[in-house]
A and B are shown apart, each in its own frame.
Chain A
């Protein structure tokens, strides 16, 4: 008997394993055959369209300077208006089957608006900044993106745009912000504001609220982890007094801002969700304390704080039955312990004895992590 692939092969395997009987296998096969699509035809059509699009782009690019500027701009304006009209028409129909097309057209309109701004600036040799470009783009596309987009791709493109704009603003006003010791506060506040925006029930769709909540909590935890686990150990030298004050103000502002943003949602004020909010609000101080302490103290205090932080996250992950987060917590705690060990032993690693000890510590950590993960699965 030859090897069967695809649905047929799977059905045969499941039948042999006793998971399904012959009748069900036959019905599933008939169902799949009925909804089968001419994949090859679609692939050829897609390939043909792709080739034509690339060809058009190549011809336009090669003759870009031969096309009069008013005509170039008019064509792009027309393209954007057509995209807007199409999205409006599909959205008005409310056809669920068209949802993917609406998402795609919204994304195209959003990106084409960005390129139209750049196109105008290029055509008139305007010497604007990237900050102006991204800011204008967000100003124009945010209303229709928030109102009409539901898909993850549109949400991420918008969120990356906002994050980029915040970073460009910080870069632009860095000297002033640092002089007034509010740079770290200015870095944290926009993200706390985005986290708070998940509390807006209308007209934001729930997919946006969910996305903002997840993205901001993920970003906060990832930034805390990166700062303590990676950046602090590789940074040599200590902060000056002004930088320390800036960071401490930022830690305080971040704590309050994230706590307030978390408590804005009534469901987050109870039980494990409240505990998670407290942990989230503590993230800025935990991330900043290792930077404001002297080098030796920062290694020990930072390491302990980091482990406590992730132990608490692991506990919450267990309560929420998020085994992936639990495993991540165990792995990061092990990595942090090993980093502290490396810092503490220092020159020993240059010797053969040091390498043997390092290997044994790694093995012990791997063993401990495995045991803890098993405990997590049982729990």
Chain B
């Protein structure tokens, strides 16, 4: 009885961390084949762009009016060959297939950057003279992950 309880305690204490470690290890593998679009970023609010090390921004989706973010809003993004960083959208139906489903398209994105980089990006977004875009991966359920920011078509580090 005592040994069963001891094993149970060990499992309850160690499993959460092992599950999280497994999750972290699986993300790059599982997300590698997710469909991806490069989308332009627009500033979320110039007065409140920088908080901590997060750059706060929104996706610039063609025809989507800025407004209150709603969790229940679901759209399907439509790539536009003539303007690749400004995809269009249509409401997400239950029956039609969609490669780029997105929940809450007006959501405020949080892009983690170093403090210096975040400050630079903030200035670029505020001025509007440079084009800042980011690669968005779609997991198929409406959730997304972000990586690889470009400024005027070049990677941020250059």
Instruction: Answer yes or no: A60 CB below 8 A from chain B CBs.
Output: no
User: Are the C-beta atoms of B19 and A92 separated by less than 8 Å?
Assistant: no
CA distance A352 to B81 in the complex (A): 76
In chain B, residues 8-45, which have Cβ atoms closer than 8 Å to a Cβ of chain A? Answer: 8-10, 12-14, 16-21, 23-24, 27-28, 31
A109 proximal to B (CB < 8 A): yes
Complex Cα spacing A124 to B16, Å: 19
A148 to B109, CA, bound (A): 38
**B114 touching A65 by the CB < 8 A rule?**
yes
Q: Is A271 an interface residue (CB 8 A)?
A: no
Q: How far is the CA of A113 from the CA of B12 in the complex (A)?
A: 13
Q: How far is the CB of A209 from chain B (nearest CB, A)?
A: 20
Flag if B144 contacts A117 (CB, 8 Å).
no
**Partner of A73 from B13, B24, B72, B146 at Cβ < 8 Å:** B24
Q: Does more than half of chain B's interface fall in helix, strand or loop, or is it mixed?
A: helix
A128, B16: Cβ atoms under 8 Å?
no
- B16, A126: Cβ atoms under 8 Å? no
Q: In the complex, what's the smallest C-beta–C-beta distance from A188 to chain B, in angstroms?
A: 22
Whether B23 contacts A127 by the Cβ 8 Å rule is no
- A175 CB within 8 Å of chain B: yes
Tell me whether A176 is interfacial, beta carbon within 8 Å: yes
The answer to whether B17 and A88 touch across the interface, beta carbons within 8 angstroms, is no
Interface membership of B74, Cβ < 8 A? no
Given contacts A125-B146, A128-B143, A140-B19, contact A88 B13 (CB under 8 A): yes
Q: Which residues 88-135 of B have a CB within 8 angstroms of A?
A: 107, 109-112, 114
Given A120-B23, A125-B112: A91 in contact with B9 (beta carbons within 8 A):
yes
Whether the pair A144, B143 counts as a contact (CB closer than 8 A) is: no
Measured between C-beta atoms, what is the minimum distance from B102 to chain A in Å?
10
A120 contacts across to B, CB distance below 8 A: 20, 23-24, 27
CA distance A148 to B10 in the complex (A): 11
A87 adjacent to chain B (CB < 8 Å)? yes
User: Considering the complex, which residues of chain A in the window 37-86 have a beta carbon less than 8 Å from any beta carbon of chain B?
Assistant: 64-65, 73, 77, 80-81, 84-85
Cβ–Cβ < 8 Å partners of A127 in chain B = 107, 109-110, 143-146
Report B-chain residues with C-beta under 8 Å of the C-beta of A197: none
A84 to B12, CA, bound (A): 9
Give the contacting residue for B14; candidates A64, A65, A81, A172; CB below 8 A. A81
Q: Is A147 an interface residue when CB atoms closer than 8 A count as contact?
A: yes
Are A81 and B9 in contact, with the CB atoms below 8 A? no
Measured CA separation A127–B6 after assembly (Å): 38
Kindly provide the distance from the CB of B148 to the nearest chain A CB, expressed in whole angstroms: 9
Q: How many residues of B contact A (CB 8 A)?
A: 32
B154 contacts the other chain (CB 8 A): no
Decide: A141 and B16 in contact? CB cutoff 8 A: yes
Task: Write out the residue numbers on chain B whose beta carbons fall within 8 Å of the beta carbon of A87.
Answer: 13
Task: Select which of A116, A122, A125, A147 is within 8 A of B17 by beta carbon.
Answer: A116
A123 within 8 A of B: yes
A128 to B28, CA, bound (A): 16
Docked complex Cα distance between A81 and B20 (Å): 11
Q: How far is the CB of A204 from chain B (nearest CB, A)?
A: 14
**In the complex, chain B residues whose CB is within 8 Å of the CB of A77:** 17, 20-21, 24
Rounded to whole angstroms, the CA-CA distance of A37 and B108 in the bound complex is 54
- CB <8 Å contact, A144 and B16: yes
A167 → chain B, closest Cβ, in Å? 14
| A6 close to chain B: CB less than 8 A | no
Find out whether the CB atom of A144 lies under 8 angstroms from the CB atom of B114: no
Partner of B145, one of A113, A124, A176: A124
Chain A residues near B144 (CB-CB < 8 A): 127
Q: Residues of B contacting A141 with CB < 8 Å?
A: 16
Query: Is there contact, CB below 8 Å, between A81 and B24?
Result: no
Q: Which residues of B contact A64 (CB under 8 A)?
A: 114
Tell me whether B80 is interfacial, beta carbon within 8 Å: no
Q: How far is the CA of A94 from the CA of B128 in the complex (A)?
A: 63
Q: Which residues of B does A touch, CB under 8 Å?
A: 6, 8-10, 12-14, 16-21, 23-24, 27-28, 31, 70-72, 107, 109-112, 114, 143-147
**A residues whose Cβ falls under 8 Å from a Cβ of B:** 64-65, 73, 77, 80-81, 84-85, 87-88, 91-92, 109, 113, 116-117, 120, 122-129, 140-141, 143-144, 147-148, 172, 175-176
